[in-house]
Structure 1
Amino acid sequence: MSIDADTTVHPALRIAVIGAGYWGPNLARNFALSTDWELVAICDMDAERASVLAQKTGNPAVVTSVDELLEHHDVDAVAIATPARTHHLIAMQAIAAGKHVVVEKPLADTTERGREMVDAARAAGTILMADHTYCYTPAVLKMRELIASGELGEILYVDSVRINLGLVQPDVDVIWDLAPHDLSILDFILPGGLTPLSVSAMGADPLRAGRSCVGYLSLPLADGALAHIHVNWLSPTKIRQMVIGGSRRTLVWDDLNPQQRLSIFDRGVDLKHQEEVLVDVASRKGAAISYRLGDTWSPALSEFEPLSLMVSSFAESIRGGQPAPTDGASALRVLSILEAASASLASAPSHLLEAAS
C-alpha cells in the first residue's frame, strides 16, 4: 500500500460519495484531496446537506438519489456512508452498474446480505472494500508487521478494551457499534484472518435502553489461544487498548497515548524452559512456572491520516485488480462474528460460527 500516486501513469479515478451525514464528509474530504481520485458527486436525500459538503470539497455535483447518480454521472466507484441497513441495496445497485464500491462499516446488516454483496462483486469483476479505517493506521500496520515477522512468536491471547461514556445508538447495541473496530483489526493483523472456533457474547442493559450498553465477546482461536473484547458505552473514562500476548513477546497498543502508542515487552512465561521442566510427567504437579524478564521498547511510527491511505489502497486495488487489504471477504468475517454474537446474546451462551467464505 502506498500513499502517493503518479498521475502521469494513472489518470485519476472518478468517485461519488453517497451519504453526507456523520462519516461521509470525512470520505469526501480525503477523496477530494487524493491525487488518485476525482470527486465527481455528493449524493444525499437531503440536498441542502449535500450542497454544504460539496462547497467544502471542490464543488462536485449534488444529486439526491442513487438512480440519478448512476444514470447521469460517469463514475468508476462509489463510497457508501449511509446506515448499515441501506448498504446492501445501494451496493448491489452500484455493482450491477459495474462500479467499484467501498462501504462504511459494517459491510451490511446481516451476513446473508453481506455475502450477496461479496458474490455479486466477484461475479461482476469489481472491487468491494470495507472502510475499516483502523486497519490503515500506522500503529495497526506496525502490529501486523510485527506479528507476521514472528516478533511476538505464537499468539497466546488477545485482550481488547474499547470503552467510553458514549451515545446510546438508536438502532444497534454496543457490540455492533464498537466491536467492529476491534474485530476488523484482529482480522487484519492475525495471519489468515480472524476465524474463531466459536463466539460467546454477554451483554447488559442497566439503562433499560432496549439494547446492550455493556458487552463482552470471547473468541476461542486455534491452538488454544483466546481473544476477548470488552465494549462499553457507560464508562466515565475512555480506554482504547489492546494487549496481544505471544510466546516470545507481548505487544500493548494504547491508542490514546500519542507519545507511545505501541510497547513491546520481552516479559512473560518462559515457555521453552517450562516445557523442559514438564518433560518428566511426575514433576508436573509441583513444577514452578518460569518467567522471563527482558527489555521494553517502543517502535517508531510514521504519521499520516489513515483515511488517505485507505482511499489510495482502494485505487491500487482497482488498478491492479487485486483484493483490497480490507476486502469484502474480511468484512464478511467481521459481520459473521457480529451476527453470531447477537445469536449468542439472544439464546445460548455459546453460538458456533459457520465459516464465512
Structure 2
Amino acid sequence: LGCGRWGRNILRDLVASGCAVVVADPSPAARQDAMGLGATAVLPAWDGRAVDGVVIATPTATHALALEPFLAGATPVFVEKPLCADAAAARRILNRARCPLRVMEKWRYHPATVRLVAIARHGELGATIGLRTRRVQDVHLHRDVDAIWTLAPHDLAIAREILGAVPPLIESSREGEDPSAGVAALFARDGAPWFALDVSARRPRTEREIVLVCAGGSAWFHDATPEVIRIRQGDQERVEALPDAPPLLAQVRAFVAWIAGGPAPKGTLAEAVETVELIDALHHSRSADRSRSWPA
C-alpha cells in the first residue's frame, strides 16, 4: 500500500526479490510509476484480495488507518517506520493486532550497523561505553509529520540493534517548533552504555554518523566515506571496508523469506510502540539530573 517517494524503492526491491506485487495508491501518477517499476497490478484502493504479505508505505500519519483492515487477520504485515505518530494509537495497535506484524527499520540491516554490532558484542574494543548518532540534513520533505518523526526512528533502531536496548531518556533539547527543527537527546542508565542522539532537518549539510565508544577504542561510520568504518585504538587507526549490501534490499529479502516460512525480520511491534513513545517524549524538552554530564 503506497507507492510514493519511498514506496517505489520498496516495490523495486520486492520485484528484484522475485515477488508478484499488487500496488494500491490513490494517485494516478503513482500507479503509472508502479506499473513501470514492475507491479503486476495497480489499484486506487485496497480491494481485500488474498495475498501472501502486505507492505504499508503510506505517509506516517495514515499508517494506523492503513493497518486497520489487517489487524485481525493472519497475513504478515511490514509497515514503514514509524509505526504511527501517536503514542495512544500505537498502544491500541499493539493491543488489537492479531496479524504477524513487523516495522521496517533498514538501518538495522546497514553493513556499518552490522559491523558495529559485532564489535560491541564480541568486545573487540573492550566494554561498550556509549553510542552517538548524528542524522542531520538541510531539508524536510514530509508534510504530515515533522523531522523528529522521520529521522529519529532510524537512530533509535540503530541503538537498539547495537546496544540491545534503548536506555531511558534522561535529557533532551529541541531546536524549535517548526517541522524541520530537530532534537538532541541523551539516554542513559547507571551501569549501562549511554546513547546520544542528534537529528535535524535545518542544518547546512547532510550527515549520517554512528560512533561506538568502547573502553579500548572507538569505531565510527560517516556517510562521507560510506564504504568503510574507521577503528581507532590508542594512537593507531585502521580503515575497514564494508560489504556492498544495500540495507533496504536486505530488509525486503528478510520479509520475503518470512512470508515463505523463515524467521521474522527485525523490528517487533513492541519495539515499534516503544519507539513511538520515545519520539513522543522527544517532542517535550526535559532537563537531566545535573550530577550527570553529557558524554564528550
| 1: CA distance, partners of 2:257 / 2:155 | 25
Which residue among 260, 284, 302 is the counterpart of 2:243?
A: 302
Once the two structures are superposed, residues 206-238 of structure 1 have per-residue CA deviations (whole angstroms, 9 ceiling, x without a partner) of xxx644613211111341532211122222222
2: CA distance, partners of 1:52 / 1:330: 33
Residue pair 2:135, 2:199 contacting (<8 A) in 1 also: yes
Name the structure 1 match of 2:42: 62
**How far apart, CA to CA, are the structure 1 residues paired with 2:131 and 2:40?**
44
SS in 2 for 1:202: strand
- Distance in 1 (alpha carbons) for counterparts of 2:179 and 2:14: 35
Distance 1:214 1:86 in 2: 22
User: What 5-or-longer segments of structure 1 have no aligned partner?
Assistant: 1-17, 268-292, 352-357
Aligned partner (choices 143, 152, 177) of residue 179 of structure 1: 152
Q: Secondary structure at the match of 1:165?
A: coil
Letter matched to residue 335 of structure 1: V
Picking from 139, 153, 159, the partner of 2:112 is 139
Paired residues for 1:239-250 under 5 Å: 239-250=207-218
Question: 1:322-333 counterparts in 2 under 5 A?
Answer: 322-333=263-274
Taking the TM superposition and a 5 Å limit, the aligned residue runs for 1:27-176 are 27-35=10-18, 37-39=19-21, 41-57=22-38, 59-66=39-46, 68=47, 70=48, 73-121=49-97, 124=98, 126-167=99-140, 169-176=142-149
Using a 3 Å threshold, how does the CA distance of structure 1 residues 222 and 115 change in structure 2: closer, same or farther? farther
Give the whole-Å Cα distance in 2 for the aligned partners of 1:153 and 1:300: 21
- The correspondence of residues 220-239 of structure 1 with structure 2, limited to 5 A, is 220-223=188-191, 225-239=193-207
Q: 1:159 to 1:82 in 2, by over 3 A?
A: same
Runs ≥4 in structure 1, deviation > 6 angstroms? none
Partner of 2:240, secondary structure, is coil
Matched, 1:264 2:231: yes
Secondary structure in 2 aligned to 1:298? Answer: strand
Shift in Å, 1:86: 1.4
Residues 264-289 of structure 1 show CA distances to partners (whole Å, capped at 9, x for unaligned) of: 1113xxxxxxxxxxxxxxxxxxxxxx
d(CA) in 1 for partners of 2:271, 2:222 = 24
Cross-structure match for 2:6: 23
What is the rounded CA distance, in whole Å, between the counterparts of 1:144 and 1:318 in structure 2? 26
AA of the residue aligned to 2:8: P
CA 26–169 in structure 1, closer or farther in 2 if over 3 Å, else same = closer
User: Which amino acid in 2 is paired with 1:79?
Assistant: V
Q: Percent same amino acid among aligned pairs?
A: 25
Task: Return the alpha-carbon distance in structure 2 between the equivalents of residues 167 and 231 of structure 1.
Answer: 12
Aligned equivalents of 2:189, 2:26: Cα separation in 1: 43
Size of the aligned set, in residue pairs, is 289
Give the gaps of 5 or more residues in structure 2. Answer: 290-296
What SS does the aligned partner of 2:205 have?
Answer: strand
2:41 partner letter: A
Rounded Cα–Cα distance in structure 2 between residues aligned with 1:299 and 1:222: 32
CA distance in 2, matches of 1:171, 1:89: 14
Counterpart AA for 2:100? I
The answer on whether the counterparts of 1:198 and 1:350 sit within 8 Å (CA) in structure 2 is no
Give the conservation status (yes or no) of the 8 Å contact 1:100–1:127.
yes
Deviation track 1:221-269 (CA, whole Å, cap 9, x = no partner) reads 3415322111222222222112111112211111231343x111113xx
Tell me the distance in 1 between the aligned counterparts of 2:24 and 2:94.
Answer: 23
- Matching of residue 349 in structure 1 with residue 287 in structure 2: yes
1:197 aligns with 2:168: yes
Matched, 1:314 2:296: no
TM-score by length of 1: 0.74
Q: Rate the CA distance shift 1:43–1:75 in 2: closer, same or farther, 3 A.
A: same
What TM-score comes out, normalization by structure 2 length? 0.88
Please say if residues 140 and 147 of structure 2, whose CA atoms lie closer than 8 Å, have aligned partners that are also in contact.
Answer: no
Larger Rg: 1
Contact 2:59 2:144 in 1 (8 A): no
What amino acid is aligned across from residue 54 of structure 1 in structure 2?
M
Contact 1:184 1:331 in 2 (8 A): no
Distance 2:249 2:9 in 1: 10
Say whether residues 1:219 and 2:187 are aligned partners: yes
